Amino acid sequence: MSDLDFSEEQIHRYARHIILPNVGGKGQKRLLESKVLIIGAGGLGSPAAYYLAAAGIGTIGIIDFDEVDISNLQRQILYNTADIGRAKVDSAKDTIVSLNPDVKVECYKEKLTSKNIKEIIEGYDIILDGTDNFPTRYLINDACIILNKINVHGSIFRFEGQLTVFKPKEGPCYRCLYPEPPPPGMVPSCQEAGVLGVLPGIIGTLQAIEALKLILKIGRPLIGSLLLYDSLKTEFRQMRLRRDTKCPVCSENPTITELIDYEEFCGVRV
């Protein structure tokens, strides 16, 4: 791929990629042509979207139906104090475009459901799950299996984070790991659960780097492995994940073939 495909400004902007072995101009072109969907523009989605934009991902989709609240600013770095009350997707788009005008931002200010998910994720190469609830995580998993999309999964709780990559057919899926979501009675309201400010930054940027590796086809993506991060112990561990031959969605004979909208059991949205 010739450098002529880049503008003068792009050659400077992406210079550290272009000189990097295994990335180069060709890799940068690939990033600019790729499409990543960020589901949930919160603690995980913010740093992931921001770094992916800086790295020159050509199209970033952002789905979130919320508005910016002051309590988000402790960790959701896409937003400023002046953005309180604005739609997260609009505010996120402004932040991203002012960082890198090369990025095309597609905004979806809606709630992800079994009705709209297929249509939304269809056009993307990689799906980055940064949601905060079980119903949406299962919905994303199942839709990604059905549409054969790679799902970069991150989650956080208090001082701990989890990260893995679900690639259909090559590795396990979320249901291989946890076949069913916990019943509503086992989950207290969202407000009770705190999270250490920087923690989503760690996990969200790890999700972003997995996305880059997958697009560039470099290194070994975190397929079949669950990374656990304990911020208090400053410890990373990896657990082996295997495909469940009886998985309800990704096995040879799946019992789940249609998308399910699980009951929302968190906080005010019940």
Partner 1 sequence: MPVSVRIPSPLMKLTKNQGEVSAEGKDIREVLSDMERQYPGIKERLYDEDGSLRRFINIYKNEEDIRFLNGESTHVQDGDEISIIPAIAGGILLSKNL
Interface with partner 1, residue 201, by CB under 8 A:
no
Q: What is the DSSP string of 86-150?
A: SBHHHHHHHHHHHH-TT-EEEEE-S---TTTHHHHHTT-SEEEE--SSHHHHHHHHHHHHHHT-E
Report how far residue 213's alpha carbon sits from residue 145's, in angstroms, rounded to the nearest whole number: 20
Residue 132 binding result from Zn ion, partner 1, none, given CB thresholds of 5 to 8 Å by partner type: partner 1
Rule CB under 8 A: say whether 159 interacts with partner 1. Answer: yes
| Binding segment toward partner 1, per CB under 8 A, in 20-28, 30-38, 141-149, 227-235 | 227-235
Site string for partner 1, 54-93 (x = CB under 8 A): ----------------------------------------
Coil, strand or helix at 47: helix
d(CA 75, CA 196): 8
Interface region with partner 1, contact rule CB under 8 A, candidates 144-152, 207-215, 231-239, 252-260: 231-239
CA distance 236 to 231: 9
Rounded to a whole number of angstroms, the minimum distance from the CB of residue 248 to Zn ion is: 7
Q: In angstroms, give the least distance from the CB of 166 to Zn ion.
A: 8
- Please give the residue ranges that form the binding site for partner 1 (CB under 8 A): 40, 42-44, 130-134, 137, 155-160, 162, 177-182, 185-188, 190-193, 195, 226, 228, 230, 232-233, 237-242, 244, 266
